[in-house]
Amino acid sequence: MKYIVTGGCGFIGSHIVDRLMSQGHNVTVVDNMSTGFPEYVSQHNGNPNFKLEKFDLKDLPRVKEAFSGQDAVFHLAANADVRGGLDDNFRDLERNVLVTHNVLEAMRANDISKILFSSTAAIYGEPDVFPTPETYHPSQTSFYGASKISCEAFIESFCEAYGFQAWMFRFVSIQGERHPHGVTYDFVKKLKANPREMEIIGDGTSRKSYCHVDDCVEGFFTAFEKASGKVNLFNIGNTEHVEVKKLASYVTDEMGLEDVEYKFTGGTRGWVGDSPLVQLDIGKLRALGWEPKISIEETVRRTVRWLLANPYVYD
C-alpha cells in the first residue's frame, strides 16, 4: 500500500511511519518542519519505499500533487499545542481546520477515500461524565478543541458526500520516545536548568490520563484493521490517571534528584482550555482487542530517559 503521513516528522507521526515502513509499505511524509525533526525519520533515508516532502499543507496545489497515486492518508499534521492557540487566534483555524480541508480536497482530487485522523481529548472541554465516552456531547473550552472537532465534522461530511471512510482518534496526552512538547518535556527542561526547584503550572492536583506512543499507534492500527464503518471514532487513553504532582515525582526520581521544591502557580486550571480531570472511556477500542500495555509511570520514566539521551530536542 502507498500511504501519506502528514506530520510524519512529528512525535506521533514518526512512530506511525516506523510501523508502516516495518510492514513494507511505501510511505510519503509531508511535513513543513514547524515542530517536526528530520532526525525522527532519518533511519529511513535511502530506503526506496520512503520519501520526505518538505512543504506546508496550506499549499493546496502541492498537496494535490503529493497525494497523486496514494492509497490512504494518516493525517497527523496540526498545531498540537493547546496553549499556543491563545497567542494567535488564527493558528488553530489555519493549521488545523484549513489544513485538514486541504487534505480532504487533495484526497478527493486523487480518488483517495481512506483517512486516519488524530483528534484529541481536548474536544471534550470540561466534561461531567467520567470516564468520558465518545458519545458525550461537549462544550468547547479552547480554540484547539474547537478546531479539532471542526476537523472531525469536515471529515464526516466528506464521508457522506464523497464516500470517504474515516478512522478518527481522540487521545489523551501521549508520551514516550521522541516526546517533544508537553508536561514531561517541560519538567525535564526546568529541572535541567535548576535541579533544586521546579515551577508547576496550576496547583498540582489536576488529574490526567496519559498513554504511551506505542499503545497509541497500536490503537490506530487495530481500529484500521478491525473497524469497517463509514466513520469510526475511538478514544485512546489509559485505564489510570495521575495527579500532576505525582507525575512530577516520577520525573525527579528518574532524573536521580531528591528534595526538589515544587513552586505552584496556583489555580485548578493551568491555562485556558486546561481540564482538571481527563479520563476517557476506552471500552470501544478495547472491544476490538486493543489494550494499553504501558503504565503511566513507565511511560513517564521512558520519556525522561529518552529526553535526557537526546538533548537536541531542546535546542
Ligand X SMILES: NC(=O)c1ccc[n+]([C@@H]2O[C@H](COP(=O)([O-])OP(=O)(O)OC[C@H]3O[C@@H](n4cnc5c(N)ncnc54)[C@H](O)[C@@H]3O)[C@@H](O)[C@H]2O)c1
Say if residues 53 and 9 touch (Cβ distance below 8 Å): no
* Residue keyed to cell 503504565: 295
Instruction: Give residue 5's identity as a one-letter amino acid code.
Output: V
Which of residues 148 and 284 has its CB atom nearest to ligand X in the complex? Answer: 148
Reduced to 3 states, what is the DSSP secondary structure of residue 278? strand
Say if residues 136 and 189 touch (Cβ distance below 8 Å): no
Among 4, 13, 97, 242, binds ligand X (CB under 6 A): 13
- For residues 245 to 274, the per-residue mask of contacts with ligand X, x marking binding by CB under 6 A and - elsewhere, is ------------------------------
Contacting ligand X within 171-230 (CB under 6 A): 171, 173-174, 180, 182
Say if residues 165 and 114 touch (Cβ distance below 8 Å): yes
Contacting ligand X within 34-93 (CB under 6 A): 34-36, 56-58, 76-78, 80
- φ and ψ of 292, to 5 deg: -70, 125
Q: Which stretch binds ligand X (CB under 6 A): 33-41, 130-138, 188-196, 245-253?
A: 33-41
Asked whether position 156 contacts ligand X by CB under 6 A, the answer is no
What DSSP element (H or E) covers 29?
Answer: strand 26-31
Say if residues 116 and 167 touch (Cβ distance below 8 Å): yes
Which of residues 7 and 127 has its CB atom nearest to ligand X in the complex? Answer: 7
Which of residues 183 and 260 has its CB atom nearest to ligand X in the complex? Answer: 183
Give the number of other CB atoms < 10 A from CB of residue 287: 10
Among 1, 23, 33, 199, binds ligand X (CB under 6 A): 33
Which of residues 16 and 200 has its CB atom nearest to ligand X in the complex? Answer: 16
Burial class, 67, CB count within 10 angstroms (exposed 0-12 / middle 13-18 / buried 19+): buried
Say if residues 63 and 106 touch (Cβ distance below 8 Å): yes
In whole angstroms, how close is the CB of 20 to ligand X at the nearest point? 15
In whole angstroms, how close is the CB of 310 to ligand X at the nearest point? 14
Contacting ligand X within 92-111 (CB under 6 A): 95, 99
Say if residues 3 and 26 touch (Cβ distance below 8 Å): yes
In whole angstroms, how close is the CB of 4 to ligand X at the nearest point? 11
Among 70, 120, 184, 209, binds ligand X (CB under 6 A): 120
Among 3, 17, 20, 31, binds ligand X (CB under 6 A): 31
What DSSP element (H or E) covers 152?
Answer: helix 143-162
Binding positions for ligand X, rule: CB under 6 A: 7, 9-13, 30-36, 56-58, 76-78, 80, 95, 99, 118, 120, 171, 173-174, 180, 182
